[in-house]
């Protein structure tokens, strides 16, 4: 239970830190790039595996790790923008509702069971994303939907890819190393993008951007670390654990959004959050 609670707290912290970037005028992308270097460093420091380049390059999961590194950069950037423009509760719900995508992938590709409960949960999830992004009563602004929908799809693809790669290529003893190398690839890809940007226009890497990345990298690593520990615990089945994790993050980010950032939720938003919780129960029932 302790590992699960810590995973919830650190996952929620990611949204809070990203939301704070706009307050301190921190460059989100630069901080994200630094964050992955920090997460990689923490992972290697806490890993019992020797960092051998030749052995790592020979791993079956190396190309999957590279692909995930690319996705991590893109998704983290979208999370940051969604948290800042739509609020941390919206970003949390949109990303957690993406659980629908790996479930559907499992049904069609891994031949997992399907029933009316899962179908109902999927419909509720889509409705929930709509209501949590609807900011003004009677008004539909398409700009409010773009980022949450991209976050919903992108996070779903990322989770599905992690599931597929782990089932096919990653041994249990390589979990920590696999995560660290994925963080490293994310940093390298992000750093190359910064270099490309600097060619087009002058870019200033301010110390506060580096500090923001360091602060972000700590919860980023430990959210994964404690989740892996919780998954290894015999106390919960994985479906139950992910349900509790997702619901916990949604509720906690909503509470912090209200208390720390004075976010205002209308009746539509509250309805969306309630539907999100119900959907998470149904699709992982």
Nearest to 78 by CA among 32, 41, 120, 124: 32
Nearest to 52 by CA among 177, 159, 223, 183: 177
pTM value is 0.81
Each residue's pLDDT tens digit, 20-31: 888 898 988 899
Cβ burial, residue 80 (10 Å; 0-12/13-18/19+): buried
Gap between the Cα atoms of 13 and 215, Å rounded: 10
* pLDDT beneath 70, residues of the chain: 49, 110, 112-113, 133-144, 236-240, 283-285
What pLDDT is stored for residue 140 in this prediction?
47
CA angle (226, 57, 48) in 5-degree steps: 35
Q: Which domain holds residue 97?
A: 2-283
Distances (CA, A) of 164 to 10, 108, 109, 175: 25, 13, 10, 14
Please count the structural domains in the chain.
Answer: 1
Gap between the Cα atoms of 171 and 185, Å rounded: 19
């Amino acid at each position: 239970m302790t590992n699960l609670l810590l995973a919830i707290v650190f996952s929620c912290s990611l949204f809070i830190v990203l939301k704070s970037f706009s307050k301190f005028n921190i460059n989100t992308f630069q901080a994200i790039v630094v964050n992955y270097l920090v997460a990689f460093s923490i992972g290697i420091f806490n890993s019992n595996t020797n960092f051998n380049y030749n052995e790592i390059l020979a791993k079956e999961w190396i190309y999957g790790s590279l692909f995930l590194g690319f996705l991590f950069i893109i998704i983290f950037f979208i999370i940051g923008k969604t948290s800042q423009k739509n609020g941390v509760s919206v970003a949390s719900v949109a990303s957690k509702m993406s659980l629908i995508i790996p479930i559907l992938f499992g049904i069609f590709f891994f031949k997992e069971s399907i029933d009316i409960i899962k179908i109902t949960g999927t419909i509720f999830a889509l409705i929930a994303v709509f209501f949590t992004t609807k900011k003004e009563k009677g008004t539909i602004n398409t700009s409010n939907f773009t980022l949450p929908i991209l976050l919903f799809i992108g996070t779903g693809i990322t989770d599905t890819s992690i599931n597929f790669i782990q089932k096919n290529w990653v041994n249990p003893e390589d979990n920590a190393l696999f995560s660290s190398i994925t963080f490293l690839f994310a940093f390298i890809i992000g750093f190359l993008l910064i270099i490309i940007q600097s060619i087009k226009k002058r870019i200033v890497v301010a110390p506060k951007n580096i500090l923001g990345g360091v602060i972000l990298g700590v919860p980023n690593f430990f959210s994964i670390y404690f989740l892996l520990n919780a998954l290894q615990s015999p106390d919960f089945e994985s479906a139950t654990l992910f349900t509790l994790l997702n619901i916990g993050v949604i509720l906690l980010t909503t509470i912090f959004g209200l208390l720390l950032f004075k976010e205002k939720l209308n009746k539509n938003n509250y309805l969306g959050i309630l539907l999100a919780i119900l959907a998470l129960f149904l699709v992982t029932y």
